[in-house]
Structure 1
Amino acid sequence: MDSDEDFVSTISSGDDAMQDDTDNDDLSGAEDFDVFDDEPDDEPGIPSQKVSKSKGVTFDINYKVYTPDDIQHQQDDMVNEVNMILEMSKEDAAIMLRHFRWNKERLIEEYMDRPSRVLEAAGLGSSAGGPPKLETIAGFVCDICCEDGDGLRSFAMKCGHRYCADCYRQYLVQKIREEGEAARIQCPSEGCHRIIDARSLDLLVAPDLVERYQELLNRTYVEDKDVLKWCPAPDCENAVECPVKKKDLDKVVPTVACACGHRFCFGCILTDHQPAPCELVKKWLKKCADDSETANWISANTKECPKCNSTIEKNGGCNHMTCRKCKHEFCWMCMGLWSEHGTSWYNCSRFEERSGTEARDAQARSRVSLERYLHYYNRYANHEQSARLDKDIYQKTEKKMVQLQTASGMSWIEVQYLNSASQALQTCRQTLKWTYAFAFYLARNNLTEIFEDNQKDLELAVEALSEMFEKPIGELSEPKLKVDIMDKTAYCNRRRVILLEDTADNLANGRWTFNVDLKNPTSAASSATSRV
Structure 2
Amino acid sequence: MDSDKECDSGSESSADNDNDVFDFNIMLNAANSTERRLNAEFEVLTTDEVVELQREIIDKVNVLLKLPTSITRILLNHFKWDKERLTEKYFDGSQEEIFKGAHLINPFSKEPKVVRQNTSHDGPEECEICFLSLPPNSLTGLECGHRFCLSCWQAYLTSKIITEGLAQTISCAALGCDILVNDVIVTKLLSEESVKVKYQRLLTNSFVECNQVLRWCPAIGCTNVIKVNYFDSRQVKCKCGHVFCFGCGENWHDPVECRWLKKWILTVVSDSETLNYIAANTKQCPQCNVTIDKDGGCNYMLCRNQNCNYHFCWLCLDSWRQHDHFNCFKDNESRNACNALEMRRSSPNRYMHYYKRYANHLESMRLENKLYDTFNQKIDEMKQHYRTWIELQFLKTAVDVLCQCRQTLMYTYVFAYYLKRNNHSMLFELNQMDLESATEMLSEYLECDITSENLADIKQKVQDKYKYCEQRRTVLLDHVHEGYEKDWWDYIK
Deviations 1:201-234 (A, max 9, x none): 2222233322222221222222223343333222
Partners of 1:203 and 1:97 lie apart in 2 by: 22
From 83, 95, 107, the equivalent of 1:115 is 95
The residue number in structure 2 matching 1:50 is: 37
Structure 1 counterpart of 2:458, which letter? Answer: L
Contact 1:61 1:255 in 2 (8 A): no
Partners of 1:439 and 1:173 lie apart in 2 by: 50
Structure 2 unaligned spans of 5+: 1-25, 108-112, 115-120, 275-340
From 93, 97, 103, the equivalent of 2:76 is 97
Q: How many residues align structurally? A: 389
Q: State the Cα distance separating 1:292 from its structure 2 match.
A: 11
Q: State the Cα distance separating 1:502 from its structure 2 match.
A: 1.3
Q: State the Cα distance separating 1:175 from its structure 2 match.
A: 0.9
From 215, 224, 243, the equivalent of 1:238 is 224
- Greater CA drift, 505-514 or 226-235: 226-235
2:482 aligned with 1:505, yes or no? yes
Structure 2 counterpart of 1:173, which letter? Answer: T
The residue number in structure 2 matching 1:44 is: none
- Greater CA drift, 440-449 or 378-387: 440-449
From 223, 243, 246, the equivalent of 1:266 is 246
Where do residues 123-162 of structure 1 align in structure 2 (5 Å cutoff)? 123-125=103-105, 139-148=124-133, 154-162=139-147
From 199, 220, 243, the equivalent of 1:213 is 199
Where do residues 276-295 of structure 1 align in structure 2 (5 Å cutoff)? 276-288=256-268, 290=270
- Relative distance call for 1:144 and 1:126 in structure 2 (3 A) is farther
The residue number in structure 2 matching 1:228 is: 214
- Relative distance call for 1:115 and 1:401 in structure 2 (3 A) is same
Structure 2 counterpart of 1:512, which letter? Answer: W
Structure 1 counterpart of 2:359, which letter? Answer: A
Contact 2:385 2:452 in 1 (8 A): no
Partners of 1:394 and 1:240 lie apart in 2 by: 28
Partners of 2:234 and 2:357 lie apart in 1 by: 24
- Relative distance call for 1:242 and 1:116 in structure 2 (3 A) is same
Structure 1 unaligned spans of 5+: 10-47, 52-59, 130-135, 247-252, 295-364, 517-523, 525-532
- Relative distance call for 1:120 and 1:286 in structure 2 (3 A) is closer
What SS does the aligned partner of 1:474 have? coil
Partners of 2:81 and 2:75 lie apart in 1 by: 8
The residue number in structure 2 matching 1:181 is: 166
- Relative distance call for 1:291 and 1:479 in structure 2 (3 A) is closer
Contact 1:64 1:240 in 2 (8 A): yes
Q: State the Cα distance separating 1:510 from its structure 2 match.
A: 0.5
Q: State the Cα distance separating 1:77 from its structure 2 match.
A: 1.4
- Greater CA drift, 60-69 or 413-422: 60-69
Where do residues 22-101 of structure 1 align in structure 2 (5 Å cutoff)? 49-50=36-37, 62-101=41-80
Where do residues 357-436 of structure 1 align in structure 2 (5 Å cutoff)? 372-394=350-372, 396-405=374-383, 407-410=384-387, 412=389, 415-436=392-413
Structure 1 counterpart of 2:164, which letter? Answer: E
Deviations 1:75-109 (A, max 9, x none): 21121012221222212211221122212233223
The residue number in structure 2 matching 1:168 is: 153
Contact 1:435 1:455 in 2 (8 A): yes
What SS does the aligned partner of 2:148 have? strand
Contact 1:97 1:104 in 2 (8 A): yes
Alpha carbon RMSD of aligned pairs, Å?
3.9
- Relative distance call for 1:373 and 1:386 in structure 2 (3 A) is same
Q: State the Cα distance separating 1:188 from its structure 2 match.
A: 1.3
From 436, 440, 455, the equivalent of 2:432 is 455
- Relative distance call for 1:195 and 1:373 in structure 2 (3 A) is closer
- Relative distance call for 1:194 and 1:509 in structure 2 (3 A) is same
Partners of 1:215 and 1:475 lie apart in 2 by: 55
- Relative distance call for 1:202 and 1:509 in structure 2 (3 A) is same
Structure 2 counterpart of 1:494, which letter? Answer: Q
- Relative distance call for 1:285 and 1:170 in structure 2 (3 A) is closer
Q: State the Cα distance separating 1:264 from its structure 2 match.
A: 2.6
The residue number in structure 2 matching 1:19 is: none
Partners of 2:453 and 2:150 lie apart in 1 by: 70
Q: State the Cα distance separating 1:7 from its structure 2 match.
A: 9.2
* TM-score, normalization by structure 2: 0.67
Deviations 1:410-446 (A, max 9, x none): 4555544333322222221011122233234434443
Deviations 1:88-140 (A, max 9, x none): 221221122112221223322333343333333323317759xxxxxx99734
Deviations 1:54-82 (A, max 9, x none): xxxxxx99444433233223221121012
- Greater CA drift, 420-429 or 186-195: 186-195
Structure 2 counterpart of 1:217, which letter? Answer: L
Partners of 2:403 and 2:411 lie apart in 1 by: 13
Q: State the Cα distance separating 1:283 from its structure 2 match.
A: 4.3
Q: State the Cα distance separating 1:400 from its structure 2 match.
A: 4.2
Q: State the Cα distance separating 1:183 from its structure 2 match.
A: 0.7
- Relative distance call for 1:287 and 1:94 in structure 2 (3 A) is closer
Contact 1:2 1:490 in 2 (8 A): no
Partners of 1:166 and 1:484 lie apart in 2 by: 75
Partners of 2:375 and 2:137 lie apart in 1 by: 65
* TM-score, normalization by structure 1: 0.63
Partners of 2:198 and 2:250 lie apart in 1 by: 27
Structure 2 counterpart of 1:156, which letter? Answer: G
- Relative distance call for 1:147 and 1:495 in structure 2 (3 A) is same
The residue number in structure 2 matching 1:439 is: 416
Q: State the Cα distance separating 1:174 from its structure 2 match.
A: 0.9
- Relative distance call for 1:89 and 1:377 in structure 2 (3 A) is closer
Contact 2:105 2:143 in 1 (8 A): no
Q: State the Cα distance separating 1:236 from its structure 2 match.
A: 2.2
What SS does the aligned partner of 2:489 have? coil
Structure 2 counterpart of 1:222, which letter? Answer: V
What SS does the aligned partner of 1:240 have? strand
Question: Relative contact order, CA 8 A, sep 6+: which one is greater?
Answer: 1
Identity %, equivalent residues: 35
Where do residues 311-390 of structure 1 align in structure 2 (5 Å cutoff)? 372-390=350-368
